[in-house]
Amino acid sequence: MTQERRFKIGKPILEVKNISLSFGGVKAITDTSFDVLEHEVRAIIGPNGAGKSSMLNCINGIYKPQQGTVSFKGKEIPNITPNIMAQMGLSRTFQNLALFKRMSVLDNILVGRKLHTKTNFLEVAFQLPKVKKEEKLNRDRSEEIVSFLEIEDIKDTPVGKLPYGLQKKVELGRALATDSSIILLDEPMAGMNVEEKRDMCRFILKVNDELGTTMVLIEHDMGVVMDISDRVVVLDYGKVIGDGTPDEVRSNQKVIDAYLGVEH
């Protein structure tokens, strides 16, 4: 996997320290710490309800953890909001698809270009030359992503009308359009068949390889995870029970117990 990479794995780009999150009396995450290195593919795995999605939501600022800190690009971020994280170069997809259903595929991806759009509404209303220039740049980049994901034939279809697998692809495309340095993928392959999964893996690795984008993904399919990730962190009941390369994690007794069950 790691041989001959265009972008060598570097220093930590994202550090999560001692995060604790609870909803009322329910503890979703307890004192969890891990890091993500630049240009790596990092997987978060764990049984259902282990707190994986909650973890992503903490990193992205949708949830506010009661304790702990998130550092991104070497800076500790005090008041995380999805908007601040997006501006700093962190993009994400959602577990239950959060696409703009009534908009076309291309328009969805174009929304991902928001942070590269500097013109205001008055300039847009009067279609000043710089608006046209910027719109063309954004459209060209979006078209590039569309052809990269091999979804040219559906680019004008309203997203709501597409099958699940394609919607997942569009969501990846939208995250890519932001040109973020790190993308969080929440179960990018859930509900896909083998072929679609293989495609998705290919895209994830290609993005990582060609653009050097750091990928953090949550996935259930162990085979897939072990194949494509550089390092894996395993959560169970909101705690880290294993962290390391796929091989290390595979031979970790706690992980085996969590996945296969253990007699008490």
Partner 1 sequence: MKPVFMTYTKKDLINLAVCMVLSVLVIPTFITTEYWYTSILIPWLCLALATIGQQIVMGYTGQLALGAAGFMAAGAFAMFNLILRVPDLGFVGSLIVSGLIAAAFGILFGLPSLKVRGIYLMVATLASQFFIIWMIDKFGWFKNYDSSGIITAQDIVILGKPFTTPLAMYFVCLAVTTVLTLLAMNMARGSTGRNWMAVRDMDIAAESMGVSLLRTKVQAFAISAFYCGVAGALFAFCYLKSLEPVAFDIKLSFKILFMCILGGLGTINGAFIGAAFILLFPVLLNAIGNNVFHGAIDATIISSIEQVIFGGLMIIFMIYEPLGMAKLWENIKQKWKTKIPSSTNLKSSLSKKT
15 binds partner 1 per the rule CB under 8 A: no
Task: Please measure the distance between the N-terminal and C-terminal CA atoms of the chain and give it in whole angstroms.
Answer: 38
178 binds partner 1 per the rule CB under 8 A: yes
For residues 162 and 105, is the Cβ–Cβ distance under 8 A? yes
Report the distance separating Cα 159 and Cα 138, nearest Å.
19
Report, in Å, the least distance between residue 125 CB and partner 1. 4
72 binds partner 1 per the rule CB under 8 A: no
Report, in Å, the least distance between residue 172 CB and partner 1. 13
Q: Which of 241, 245, 220, 219 is nearest to 232 (CA)?
A: 245
Here's the x/- map for partner 1, 128-167, by CB under 8 A: it reads as ---x--xx--x-----------------------------
98 binds partner 1 per the rule CB under 8 A: yes
The single residue among 9, 37, 77, 103 that binds partner 1, judged by CB under 8 A, is 103
Report the distance separating Cα 264 and Cα 262, nearest Å.
6
Q: What is the dihedral of CA 180, 157, 56, 198, to 10 degrees?
A: -90
Q: Read off the amino acid at residue 93.
A: T
179 binds partner 1 per the rule CB under 8 A: no
Report, in Å, the least distance between residue 221 CB and partner 1. 24
CA-based torsion, 93, 2, 149, 137: positive or negative: positive
Interface residues with partner 1 (CB under 8 A)?
60, 62, 81-83, 85-87, 91-92, 94, 98-103, 107, 110-115, 117, 119, 121, 124-127, 131, 134-135, 138, 174, 178
